[in-house]
Amino acid sequence: MLDNMPRGTICIEDIEIGMTRSLRKVVTDHDIELFAEVSTDRNPVHLDDDYANDTIFEGRIAHGMLTAGLVSAVIGEQLPGHGTVYLGQSLKFLGPVRPGDMVLAEVEVTDIDHSKRRVKMDTRCLVDGKKVLVGEATVLAPSRKFD
C-alpha cells in the first residue's frame, strides 16, 4: 500500500460507474488575459471588445480551452484526483463562455477497466443550465497497489 496517497484522491479500487464530481467558477477578464498570456492565443475575439462586438458572438468570449481546463481541474483535483494521468479527451464546443459567466464543470464515470486502471468519463460544462462544452475523457487512475 502507498502511504503517501494525496488526501481526496479516489483510487481505481474505489471508483464506481456513475460517480460524479464538479466545480463552479466565474470566468473573469483576468482569467482570459492570463490564459492568452500563457497560451499565446491572442485572438481578438477574446481580448478586444470592438473587434468581438462585430463577430457572430456579439462580444468577447473566453478561450474554449480555458473552459476545457475546468474539466481538467475536476479530474486532476477530485475524480480521480492527484496522481491521475490524462490519456485522452474529446471536446465539442456548443456555446460561448463570456467574462462574468459562472461555469459548472462536471465529470461522470461511465466505464472502468480495473486491470488497466483506465477510467472513462463524460465531461461537460454548463452556463445557466445550458451545455457549452461536452466530451469524453480517458484517464489512468492512481492505485493503492504497486504496479
CATH number at residue 109: 3.10.129.10
Let me know if residue 6 belongs to a domain.
no
Q: Is 88 exposed, middle or buried (0-12, 13-18, 19+ CB in 10 A)?
A: exposed
| CA distances for 125 relative to 4, 58, 143, angstroms | 32, 21, 28
Query: Using 50, 70 and 90 to split pLDDT, how confident is the model at 21?
Result: very high
Neighbours of 38 (CB within 10 A): 9
pTM above 0.75, yes or no: yes
Let me know if residue 94 belongs to a domain.
yes
For residue 7, is pLDDT > 90? no
Let me know if residue 10 belongs to a domain.
no
pLDDT given at position 74 = 98
Let me know if residue 7 belongs to a domain.
no
For residue 6, is pLDDT > 90? no
For 81-140, the pLDDT digits (tens) are: 999 999 999 999 999 999 999 999 999 999 999 999 999 999 999 999 999 999 999 999
Average pLDDT, the chain: 94
Domain that holds residue 53: 15-140
pLDDT given at position 4 = 52
For 40-64, the pLDDT digits (tens) are: 999 999 999 999 999 999 999 999 9
Cα–Cα distance measured from residue 77 to residue 59, given in angstroms and rounded to the nearest whole number: 32
Let me know if residue 135 belongs to a domain.
yes
Let me know if residue 75 belongs to a domain.
yes
For residue 1, is pLDDT > 50? no
- The total of structural domains in the chain comes to 1
Let me know if residue 129 belongs to a domain.
yes
pLDDT given at position 100 = 98
pLDDT given at position 3 = 47
Let me know if residue 5 belongs to a domain.
no
Specify whether the CB–CB gap between 100 and 33 falls below 8 A: no
Ramachandran angles phi, psi of 22, nearest 5°: -155, 165
Specify whether the CB–CB gap between 96 and 21 falls below 8 A: no
Question: Which ranges constitute the DSSP H helices of 17-87?
Answer: 29-39, 44-47, 49-53, 64-77
